[in-house]
Amino acid sequence: MKALRNFLDKVKPSFEEGGKFHAFRSVFDGFETFLFVPNTTAKRGSHIHDCIDSKRAMSMVVIALIPALLFGMYNVGFQHYLVHGEEASFWAMFIFGFLAVLPKIVVSYVVGLGIEFVVAQWRGEEIQEGFLVSGMLIPLIVPVECPLWILAIATAFAVIFAKEVFGGTGYNIFNVALITRAFLFFAYPVKMSGDAVWVAKDALCGGIGSENALLDGVTGATPLGQVSTGAAEITNAIGSSMSPMDMIMGFYPGSIGETSVIAIGIGAIILLFTGIASWKTMLSVFAGGILTAMMFNSIGANEVMSLPWYEHILLGGFCFGAVFMATDPVTSPRTECGKYIYGFLIGFIAIVIRCLNPGYPEGMMLAILLMNLFAPLIDHCFVQANIKRRLKRANR
């Protein structure tokens, strides 16, 4: 460590104003603060500080995403071998999935962090950690067959227009990862929806994966996609019917990270245990979703409305959105009471979109984005109530 520190101290001057590599100051600074906690001390105000910092908070979310990521990789391989009717070992499936998902992670981070580095350099600021989380979320909420170049464009769009133009991490109105997905969804609908994109069908790198032909009856549609097109029974990729237990395990086609309720649950436990995510938001998203689904169950006018409430929660991106997206503190309300309303409405709107809009089998993304927009309004109401209380007190 000492040698590393000495090395950093030695090269530091060349990155400072007037140095040879001044154009890379933000990158150097980013790596230096990543390796060593900065030695800055409090000059005024409080002389002592809590040892939490935003790097810690962000990395907790990344850690919480790892179970969903690992399961997603495994599931990609599992689906691949399933549709080809080939038996494969656990490791064969995992390695296939790893190789299919890794390029997406690399593209997301390289594009997103590249833009962050440039902007930080341009503004003369420190690199902020926000994209560590977004960069991990993005690969998990796209279909496995999403082309990398499209992913790169969408990531660049989201980082620049959803975050940097507003001022960077902490100033964005919309969740960056969801804007990426929304951009993909509306700009390249063919690559983001339908039946063809959810299962990796071809072998990778010219030979890793199954060489067999596809089985007959392979649909590759997501369970919610099947329901919205009026399928009588929810099936997995090769047409066998699915029990609620299968839905919890997550062995069905879908966005890479969203399928396993167990993996997402582990992430939720990490987030709630560490207190990084608000339990208020998370709980009320589920409450809103469950109550709304129950309400539609009792109407039951179409296939989606009749889908049992627990399947609404277990399928699609509901859990993933509730745990990792709705709880983003920057785009959530800042008032504690507001979080209940915000969460409840996300759950409500997600199910409403699913049930009432035949064009969109999944409503979670749009529900969260819509409520991102309304979060300041919710805050405004609570802040105004506080202001009124104070005025009333003065006039008493």
d(CA 26, CA 126): 6
In 3D space, the residue among 28, 306, 236, 257 whose CA is nearest the CA of residue 141 turns out to be: 257
CB of 132 to other proteins, least distance (A): 11
Question: Is the CB of 43 or the CB of 243 nearer to other proteins?
Answer: 43
Q: Which is nearer to other proteins, 79 or 172 (CB)?
A: 172
Tokens read off for 37: 């906690």
**241 phi/psi in degrees, rounded to 5:** -75, 155
* Pick 48 or 245: Cβ nearer other proteins: 48
In whole angstroms, the minimum distance from the beta carbon of 31 to other proteins comes to 12
As measured in angstroms, the least distance from the Cβ of 258 to other proteins is 25
- 3-state secondary structure (DSSP) of residue 242: coil
Are 196 and 221 within 8 A, CB to CB? Answer: no
Which residues of this chain interact with other proteins, rule CB under 8 A? 1, 4-5, 33-57, 59-60, 126, 128, 130, 167-171, 273-276, 278, 329-330, 332-336, 379, 382-383, 386-387, 389-391, 393-394
- Minimum Å gap between C-beta 111 and other proteins is 22
Query: How far apart are CB 263 and other proteins at their closest, in Å?
Result: 20
Residue 41 CB, nearest approach to other proteins (Å):
4
Please answer whether residues 253 and 199 qualify as being in contact, where contact means their C-beta atoms are separated by less than 8 angstroms. Answer: yes
**CB-nearer residue toward other proteins: 152 or 381:** 381
C-alpha span between 129 and 126 (Å, rounded): 9
Closest C-alpha among 67, 69, 361, 76 to residue 194: 361
How many Cα atoms within 13 Å fall on the side-chain side of residue 95?
A: 12
- Rounded Cα distance, 235 and 241, in Å: 4
Considering the complex, state which of residue 127 and residue 313 has its C-beta at the smaller distance from other proteins.
127
Give least dist CB 279 to other proteins, A. 11
In this complex, which beta carbon is closest to other proteins, that of residue 36 or of residue 90?
A: 36
CB 329 within 8 A of CB 278: yes
Q: Give the nearer residue to other proteins in terms of CB position, either 187 or 387.
A: 387
d(CA 395, CA 112): 53
